[in-house]
Amino acid sequence: MFLTVHGAIGIIIGQRVSNPVLAFIFGFISHYLFDIIPHGDTNAPKKWNNLIHLALIALIDISVMILLILGMGLKVNLHQWSVIFGFLGAVLPDFLQGFYFLSGKKWFKRHQKVHNFFHFLIAEKYEWNFYTGLVLQLIFFILLITYII
């Protein structure tokens, strides 16, 4: 899923869990649980499977996530440590995945296996096409944002 979707889920967790450490742990776990839901990214066009396209997609996703955080600052108390830690825990697995793609280090490889396990639990047998996945993630994101606000 997009970082923005995971980030929004982490913010919701941080709003509901007052302990920052628990918010981080629940946010981290939520990432894998929500990645089980097929979301079309495994069916992205093959021409996008290169470093330039992946970096561009990541840049757009991170930019939208930053706009989300800045916009949420008006409605949500982002100074609560639990909200910040819930958010960080929810997005960390994708950053670890990015470090794996860039470095190939052994520790990141172990994480990548865990990440792939959850990511392909259902998507290996059933996956949306890429564009349907984008639309579903957008709808899911809008529902999350309306819940947060």
Domain segments of the chain: what residues? 3-148
Average pLDDT (104-131) is 79
Q: Is the pLDDT of residue 72 over 70?
A: no
Backbone phi, then psi, for 94, in 5-degree steps? Answer: -70, -35
- pLDDT for res 73: 65
Q: Note whether 78 and 18 are within 8 A (CB).
A: no
Of 10 and 135, which is predicted with more confidence?
A: 10
Average pLDDT (16-35) is 94
Average pLDDT (117-138) is 78
Average pLDDT (22-33) is 96
What is the number of alpha carbons within 13 Å of residue 127 lying toward its C-beta?
18
End-to-end CA distance of the chain: 21
